[in-house]
Amino acid sequence: GEDVEQSLFLSVREGDSSVINCTYTDSSSTYLYWYKQEPGAGLQLLTYIFSNMDMKQDQRLTVLLNKKDKHLSLRIADTQTGDSAIYFCAESRRSGNTPLVFGKGTRLSVIA
């Protein structure tokens, strides 16, 4: 079945870049998402990439997709203490209304 894997923890110093990695197994994944969860809050959509793209940049966020290796990464430039949160990778086979398959989430800790 479909599976999404992420490392559980990442610690970086403020001002450095963070790279959160994700692998998935479903070769028919069409959309890949990054969600952010701050303490006590819901899942906030950060960015997404369609499977026919290999990179997407949005301000401090860069998403890289290696479809051959089924590897997705999220790079956060100039990481700030406010970026401390859990980051979830998710995939779906079709757009919008189909179930998302999530990873367990990567807890990013930013050290001042």
Terminal C-alpha separation, the chain: 40
Q: Are strands 71-76 and 61-66 parallel, antiparallel or unpaired?
A: antiparallel
| 82 vs 97, beta carbon nearer another protein | 97
In angstroms, rounded to a whole number, what is the distance separating the alpha carbons of residues 49 and 66? 11
Min dist CB 103 to another protein, Å, is 7
Min dist CB 45 to another protein, Å, is 4
Min dist CB 14 to another protein, Å, is 27
Q: For 24, phi and psi rounded to 5 degrees?
A: -135, 160
Residue linked to tokens 């050290």: 111
| 42 vs 82, beta carbon nearer another protein | 42
| 23 vs 31, beta carbon nearer another protein | 31
CA-atom Rg of the chain in angstroms: 13
- The CA angle 2-47-76, to the nearest 5 degrees, is 105
> Would you tell me which residues interact with another protein (CB under 8 A)?
4, 31, 33, 35, 40-45, 48, 50, 88, 90, 94-105
| 72 vs 88, beta carbon nearer another protein | 88
Min dist CB 41 to another protein, Å, is 5
